[in-house]
Amino acid sequence: MSTDGELEVVGRPLPRVDAVARVTGTARYADDLQLPRMLHARILRSPHPHARILSVDTAAARRIPGVKAVLTGMDLPIRYGIMPVSQDERALEFEKVRFVGDPVAAVAAVDEETAAAALDAIRVSYEPLQPVMSIEEALRDPVDEPIHDPALTRQRGNVHRLVSYEFGDVEAGFAAADHVREDLFFYQGNTHLPMEQHSALATYEDGRLTLWSSTQVVHYVHRALAKVLELPMHRIRVIGAAHGGGFGGKTDPFSHEIVVAKLAMVTGRPVRCTLTREEVFYAHRGRHPVLIWMRTGVTREGRITAMHVRTALDGGAYGSYGPATVFYTGTLQTVTYAIPAYKFEGVRLFTNKAPCGPKRGHGTPQGRFAIELHLEKIARELGLDPVELRRRNYVRPFTRAVNWLRVTSCGLEECTEKVLQASGYRGRPRRPGHGMGFAASAYMSGAGTPIYWNDMPHSEVQLKLDRTGVTAYCGAMDIGQGSDTVLATVVAEELGLRPADVRLVTADTDATPVDLGSYSSRVTFMAGNAALEAARRMRRLLVEAVAEATGVQGDLDEIEVREGRVGEVSFEQACQLATTRFGALSTSGSYRPPRIAGPFKGSGVGPSPAYSYTACVVDLDADARTGLIRVNKVWIAHDVGRAINPLAVKGQVEGSVYMALGEALMEEQVYRKGRHKWPSMLEYKSPTVLEMPEIETFLVETVDPEGPYGAKEAGQGPLLPVIPAINAAVFDALGIWIDETPITPEKVLRALDARARGQEARYGPRRFPDVDYGAPIRVDPPDPHDLRVGEELERAFAAAGR
Amino acid sequence: MLRLPRLRYLKPASAAAAAAAVAEVGPRAVLVAGGTDLLPKLKRRQIEADTLIGLAHLSELRGVRGDARSGFELGALVTLTEAAEHPALVEGHPGYAEAAGLVSSPALRNAGTVGGNLCVDTRCNYYDMTYEWRRSIGFCMKKDGDVCLVAPGSPRCWAVSSTDTAPVAIALGATVVLVGPDGERELPAAELYRDDGIQYLAKPAHEVITALRLPPADGLASAYVKLRRRGSIDFPIAGAGVALRLVDGRLERVRIVMSGVGSHPVEAPAAGELLAGQEPTPEAIAAAAELAARPAKPLDNADLHHAWRKRMVRVVVEQALQRAVERARARRP
C-alpha cells in the first residue's frame, strides 16, 4: 500500500494463490495422502431408522486375515457435538441407532476390501422402534420412545429446541396495520454435494495424535478429539488437507475422524477412512426442511407495522448446529427490512433422518424464501410494485434493528438499482411463459459470538519474517472459497508484495494460532482483520529497521512500502536489515468482534460485525404444458463491502447462484420407507453446466468501517435471494405460486390444474401444526440510532440494570 | 470408495469365442464392452460376477458400414459418440443418431457402445443402489430379494427399460446380429426385449450382439425425443422414437416406440395405424400421441413424480412425431 492509502493488490482480479495446484490436480486431498503401513477403515452403519442395539458381535470380523482392529461404541462412549448445548452424538453408537446410516462399528484392515468383508461379518442385533419421519410425526407423542433421552434434551417428546421471542409490541403493530396477510411456506431439505467426499487420515506416534482431514474447522475437530479420546489438546494435531468443498457440510466433527484417530491409537499404524458418496449423504448436516408461517401487517403505503413468524424445523437425528439454525430461520429478517415489532417462534424437532445442520446460508435461506414471497404477495394484494414495497422497508445503514442486531454499511439500495437497471425488470416485455422475479437479502460476515463461550479472539494470525522472506500462519481453512488468497493479499498489500510472494501455513493446529474456521462467512472479515493487524505491525518493524540502517529521519509513515520495496531498499534487503536489527521477527494480530448482542438470553445468534447485502433478478421461461422451467439469466448485485479479490468474489457469487438453482428447482434430500430415497449422485439431482444460465454479477463496495479494507462476506449471502426470485418469476410467467422448494414440474402443473378448477393457483403446504412454543421472551427494542458496541454497550446495559 | 470385486478379465479371440467363454464360465461371467453400465453395478453388487469377458479389443466389431441407400451396419463396439456424429448416419437416420447423442454424458458416450446401449440394464430406484442400501430396505426381487418394492403385491419386476437407442432402432425396423456358440442369427430389434424387469433381454446370456443393422433410409424419417431432468447424464424418464414416411402429404408406415415407460421398449402400433394414410395435422398427431401414451403406467421408481411422467408421455410422442414429420418434409425435393 502506498503512503496515501492507495491499494496495490487489494481489489485486483489476481489468480488465486492455489489456482495452479487446483486445476492441474496436484493439490493433495486427504484421500491422496498415503503413509507407510497405512490401514484402511470402514464404518458399519445402521440399516434401521430407529432401533435399540441389543448386541454387537465382532468375533467373526476379528478373525478375518488382514483385519487389524475392530471398534464398537463401547470403545468411544463419550458424547460430543459441535454445540456445547447439544452433546448428543457418539462416534459409534452402542445403545441405539437413530437413522439409516448411523455409525455402529468400525474396522481397520490392510485394504478396503478386507475392511468391507469384516463389516459384513459383524453381527448386530437390533430391536426396531417406530421411526419418526416428519415434522408432524415428531410433534406427536412418541409411539415407542423419544429419539433422544428427554433427560438430556430437557424437552418433551422429540422436541430438540424451542425459541420464542417478542421484540416490541407486536399486537399494537398489527392493530396499526391497514392490511394483514398470512402465508405458509415449506422449504425442502437438501444437501451440500461437495465434489470431495469426507476423508481423514490419522497417525499416533510418540504419544501424539495427528489427523489430516477434509474439514472446515480444524479447531473444533481438535476439541472434539480431545474430549472423546481423553487426550490433552497439546498431544493432538489437526491439519486441514487440501479441500474439495464444504459448503457447511464439513463444519461438524465427524464420526470417521474420531474413528480413524482411535484406530491409529489402537493399531499404532496410520489409518485412513474416506466416506463413500452414500455415506456423505448420511453425514449430511445439510439444509433443514422447514415449515414457515408468516403474518405481517402493513400500512396502505406498504410499510411493515409488525411481523410474526413461526418455523418448525425437521432436524434429523442429532443436534449438530441446530440450536443456532432454529434462530437463523427468523433472526436475520430484521437486518433486511425495518420491522418495528417482531415476534418469532421456532421449534427444531428430532426425526429419524440424517442430521441436518449448516448449509450455505445456514437456516436463513428458508426464512428468506418465505419473507420474499410473502412481501411479493402483499405488494400484489395492495396493488404496489413488489420491488417498491421492499424498498420502502429496507433497513437504513448504521441503524439497530428491533432485535438489537446492529447494521453498519448497507448497499441494498445500490444492489437493487444495479439489477433493476441491468435486467430491464421494469419494462420487461410480456410473452407467454416468460417471467422475471426480484428478491433481496442480507447475510452475516461471521457470527458475533463463538460456538463455545469464551472471550478469546475469533482469529489469530502470526507473521514470521527472516532473511528468506515472510510467512503467514493462520488456523483458517481454505475450503475453496479462497481464504488463503485473502490472507496472502492482505499481508502482501501491507508489505508491498504480490500475494504469491507470501508463504502461507494454514489450518494446522501445531503450527498455526487458532482461527475458528470456515463457517458463518467469517474468514475474510475476521482472519482478514487479524492478518491486517499482524502485517501492519510487521511493516512498522521493517520500516524502523530500514530507516535506521539508511539513516532516514522523520516520520516513518512517510516511508513507502510498495512494489517490492521498503523506502530506498528492496524487500529482500529490508528483510536482511530487519533481521540484522531484531533477529527473526514475528508479529501477531488477532480479531474479536465487538460485543453487539442485545441484553437478553439467546441474543448471541444473529449479531455479526457487518452484514452483506444482495439483490437479484431472475429471468426464466416456464412451460405451462410440461411445467418445465428454463432459467435464462440471473443478474445479481452483491454488497461485499470491498472486494479484496474481485475474481474470487465473483466466483463465490456464481457458485452461490448455481447452488441456489439446485435448491430452487431440483435438489431434495427426501426419505422413503424410513431411509434416504436416493443417496447417489445420479439419483439426487443437482444442476449440470447445461442448466446454468448466464450470470451478470455486480459488486457493490460500501467499504464497511470494521471490515479489512472495508470487506464483508461473499460466500453465502449471494445464494439467498436467487431462490425466492425464481419463485417470483414463475408467478410472473404463469400466475401461480409455488410456495415450497424445489419447484418440480409436477408442482407447477398441479398449481395450474388447481387454477383451472377454480381453486387457489398455488402449490404449497396447507397447514402449520399446533406447536406450544411457550411464553415468549419479551424484549424492548433499542433506539434504532444507538450504535454503541463493546464496553460502551455493556456499560449501558449495566446502567439500565439489564 | 466402493470397490470392484476381484475379477478375471478374458480377451477372447472373436465374438464367437466370447460367446463360448460365457457359456463355459456360466452365470458368473458377464460380457463387457464400454462398461459404463456394468462397472457401477459391479461395485454396488447389483451384478455379481467373477469373470469379465472383454469385447473392446475385437476390431471386427468396430466401424460403421454401408450408407443411406443400402442401409447401415453398425458394429456393436461403435461408440455412441461415433454413432451420434457419423455424417451419413446423421443424414440417413437422424433419429437414431440423436438418440445415441442423448445417452448420458460426453465422457460416457465416448466409452459406451451401440451394442451396450441396446443391452442396458433396466432401472429402478429401489434397485440402482448400493448393496448396503438394498440390504437396509430388504432387497427386491431383481436382486437378492423376492418382492417388488415399488409394487409389493406384484408377482413381477417393474424395473424400467432405459435404453435410448432401442426405440428408434425398433421404429426403423432395425435388426441385431447375434453370435452364439452355434453360429450367427439376425433378429428384429423389437424381438430382443421381453416385458420383464429382470429377464429383459430375449437373448440367452451367451449370445453376443455383434452389429446393429439399420434399413436403407428409403424415405424413412426418424426422430427421438428424450425427457430427463437435466440436459445431460440422466437416463430417460420418458422417450419416444418414431419412424415414418410422408408420401404425397400423407403418412405411411408410422412406428412409435417409447422408452422409460415399461420394462421393455413399448411400441404403440394402434397409434401408428391411426396415422397411416392421414395428413400430419397437429390434431392427428395429438390424437395418435394420446393413444400411444394411454398404456404407459409409470411407477414411483424413477426420477420425478410418476403422475407427471404419465402426463408427459403424450408430450414426448407428439414432439417426436412432429420432428419426424418436419424432417420428412425437409427431405422431399
**Given an 8 Å threshold on Cβ–Cβ distance, is B125 in contact with A683?**
yes
Cell of A797: 446495559
How many domains, chain A?
A: 3
* pLDDT at position A29 over 60: yes
- On whether residue A801 sits in a domain, the answer given is no
Taking the CA of residue B320 and the nearest CA in chain A, the distance in Å comes to 15
Are residues A431 and A569 located together in one domain of the fold?
no
Query: CB–CB of B230 and A116 under 8 A?
Result: no
Q: Taking a C-beta distance cutoff of 8 angstroms, is the pair A663, A725 a contact?
A: no
How many CB atoms are located within 10 Å of the residue B199 CB? Answer: 12
Q: Is the CB of B308 inside 8 Å of chain A's CB atoms?
A: yes
Distance in angstroms (rounded) separating the CA atoms of residues B273 and A283:
54
Does A258 share its domain with A278?
yes
Residues 6+ apart with CB under 8 A from B93: B68, B72, B168, B172, B214, B217, B220, B222
Min Cα–Cα distance to chain A from B14, Å: 33
The model's pLDDT over A423-475, given as tens digits with 9 standing for 90+, comes to: 999 998 889 999 999 999 999 999 999 999 999 999 999 999 999 999 999 99
B230, A679: Cβ pair inside 8 Å?
no
Q: Which of A116, A274, A680 sits opposite B129 (nearest CB)?
A: A680
Give how far Cα A401 sits from Cα of A358, A510, A717, A787, Å: 24, 41, 19, 10
- Residue among B48, B147, B229, B310 with most chain A CBs within 10 A, to mutate: B229
Inter-chain touch A688–B232, beta carbons under 8 Å:
yes
CATH number at A465 reads: 3.30.365.10
Burial class (CB in 10 A: 0-12, 13-18, 19+), A471: middle
The partner residue sitting opposite A666, judged by closest CB among B125, B133, B229, is: B229
Question: Can you tell me the distance from the alpha carbon of B223 to that of A734, in angstroms, rounded to the nearest whole number?
Answer: 30
B128 touches chain A (CB under 8 A): yes
Identify all chain A residues contacting B129, using CB atoms and an 8 Å cutoff.
278, 678-680
Same domain, A373 and A424: yes
> Where does a domain end: A551, A575, A591?
A591
* CA distance linking residue A231 with residue B101, whole number of Å: 58
Asked whether residue A261 falls in the same domain as residue A384, the answer is no
Return the pLDDT at B298. 92
CA distance B234 to chain A (A): 7
- Spatial distance between the Cα atoms of B76 and B55, rounded to a whole number of angstroms: 9
Q: What pLDDT, in 10s, does the model give residues A563-620?
A: 999 999 999 999 999 999 999 999 999 999 999 999 999 999 999 999 999 999 999 9
- Cα-Cα-Cα-Cα torsion A687, A693, A698, A699, nearest 10 degrees, comes to 20
Minimum CA–CA partner of B3 in chain A: A113
Rounded CA separation B251/B64 (Å) = 30
Buried b (16+ CB within 10 A) or exposed e, A645-658: bbebbbbbbbbbbb
At A443 the three-state DSSP class reads strand
What is this model's ipTM?
0.96
3-state secondary structure of B331: helix
- The answer to whether residues B254 and B292 touch, using CB atoms and an 8 Å cutoff, is no
Q: B106-142, pLDDT tens digit by residue?
A: 999 999 999 999 999 999 999 999 999 999 999 999 9
Q: Do A405 and A525 reside in the same domain of the chain?
A: no
**Residue A530 falls within a domain, yes or no?**
yes
Return the pLDDT at B309: 96
A93-133 pLDDT tens trace: 999 999 999 999 999 999 999 999 999 999 999 999 999 99
Whether pLDDT at A332 is above 60: yes
Percent of chain A predicted with pLDDT > 70? 100
Decide: A261 and A209 in contact? Cβ < 8 Å. Answer: yes
pLDDT in tens, A244-288: 999 999 999 999 999 999 999 999 999 999 999 999 999 999 999
User: What is the end-to-end Cα distance of chain A in Å, rounded?
Assistant: 44
Residues of B in contact with A679 (CB under 8 A): 129-130, 133
Beta bridge partners of A508: A239
Q: Per-residue pLDDT tens for A655-673?
A: 999 999 999 999 999 999 9
Cα–Cα dist A785/A64, whole Å: 70
Contacts of B128 in chain A (CB under 8 A): 680, 682-683
Q: Are residues A331 and A277 in the same domain?
A: no
A566 lies in some domain: yes
- Asked if the C-beta of B276 comes within 8 angstroms of chain A's C-beta atoms, the answer is no
Pick from A261, A366, A248, A256: nearest CA to A313: A366
Residue A782, in any domain of the structure: no
Confidence (pLDDT) at A283: 98
Q: Specify whether the CB–CB gap between A314 and A346 falls below 8 A.
A: no
CB-based contact B230 A687, cutoff 8 Å: yes
Q: What is the mean pLDDT of residues A319-331?
A: 97
Does residue A137 lie within any of the structural domains?
A: no
pLDDT reading at A553 higher than 90: no
* B333 has pLDDT over 80: no
Segment A315-331 shows an average pLDDT of: 97
Residue A160 lies in a domain: no
Residue contact B305–A744, C-beta within 8 A: yes
CB contact under 8 A, B229 and A677: no
- Put simply, the answer to whether A675 touches B133 (Cβ < 8 Å) is yes
Percent of chain B whose pLDDT exceeds 90 = 97
Q: Where is the domain boundary, A231, A262, A283?
A: A283
3-class secondary structure for A368-396?
HHHHHHHHHHHHHHHCCCHHHHHHHHECC
Percent of chain B exceeding pLDDT 70 equals 99
Comparing alpha-carbon positions, the chain B residue that sits nearest to A281 is B133
Quick one: A313 and A424 in the same domain?
A: yes
Residue A333 has pLDDT above 60, yes or no: yes
- pLDDT tops 80 at residue A1: no
**In a shared domain, residues A630 and A758:** yes
In total, the C-beta contacts within 8 angstroms joining chain A to chain B are: 72
Q: What percent of chain A has pLDDT over 90?
A: 95
Of residues A469, A454, A412, A75, the one with CA closest to residue A266:
A75
The answer to whether residues A438 and A377 belong to one domain is: yes
Can you tell me the distance from the alpha carbon of A187 to that of A662, in angstroms, rounded to the nearest whole number?
13
Burial-class residue A35 by CB neighbours within 10 Å (0-12, 13-18, 19+): middle
Note the pLDDT of residue A86.
92
- The rounded distance, in Å, linking the Cα atoms of B261 and A68 is 49
- Nearest Cα residue to B205 out of B54, B25, B9: B25
Check which CATH number belongs to the domain holding A91 and give it. 3.90.1170.50
In a domain, A707, yes or no: yes
The answer as to whether A674 is a domain residue is yes
* Cell numbers at A343, concatenated: 415476534
pLDDT at A196: 97
CA proximity to B142, closest of B132, B202, B32, B129: B129
Residue B4 in contact with partner chain A when CB distance is under 8 A = no
Q: Is the pLDDT of residue A375 over 90?
A: yes
Handedness of CA A477, A523, A535, A460 (dihedral sign): negative
Question: Distance between CA A564 and CA A495 in Å, rounded?
Answer: 8
Q: Give me the pLDDT at residue B332, please.
A: 59
B126 and B190 Cβ atoms separated by less than 8 Å: no
CB A438 within 8 A of CB A420: yes
pLDDT tens digits, one per residue of A783-797: 999 999 988 888 888
Provide the CB-side half-sphere exposure for A634 (13 A, CA): 31
Q: How far apart are CA A353 and CA A669, in angstroms?
A: 10
Q: Is A539 exposed, middle or buried (0-12, 13-18, 19+ CB in 10 A)?
A: buried
pLDDT over 80 at A802, yes or no: no
> Looking at the partner chain, which of A116, A680, A746 has a beta carbon nearest the beta carbon of B305?
A746
pLDDT at A429: 85
Same domain (yes/no): A569, A672:
no
B329: confidence class by pLDDT, cuts 50, 70, 90: very high
Biggest distance spanned by C-alpha atoms of chain A:
89
Q: Which domain holds residue A677?
A: 290-449+599-763
pLDDT digits (tens, 9 = 90+) for A41-97: 999 999 999 999 999 999 999 999 999 999 999 999 999 999 999 999 999 999 999
pLDDT bin (cut points 50, 70, 90) of residue A552 is: confident
Residue B44, SS3? Answer: coil
Pairing of strands B71-75, B208-214: antiparallel
CB contacts of B1 in chain A (<8 Å) are 112, 197, 274, 276
Query: How many Å apart are CA B220 and CA B174, to the nearest integer?
Result: 12
* A312 in the same domain as A416: yes
pLDDT band, residue A344 (cuts 50/70/90):
very high
Residues of chain B contacting residue A746, judged by C-beta atoms under 8 Å apart: 304-305, 307-308
Q: What is the pLDDT of residue A799?
A: 85
For residue A295, pLDDT over 70 is answered with yes
Distance from CA of B256 to the nearest CA of A (A): 21
- Whether A69 and A102 map to the same domain: the answer is yes
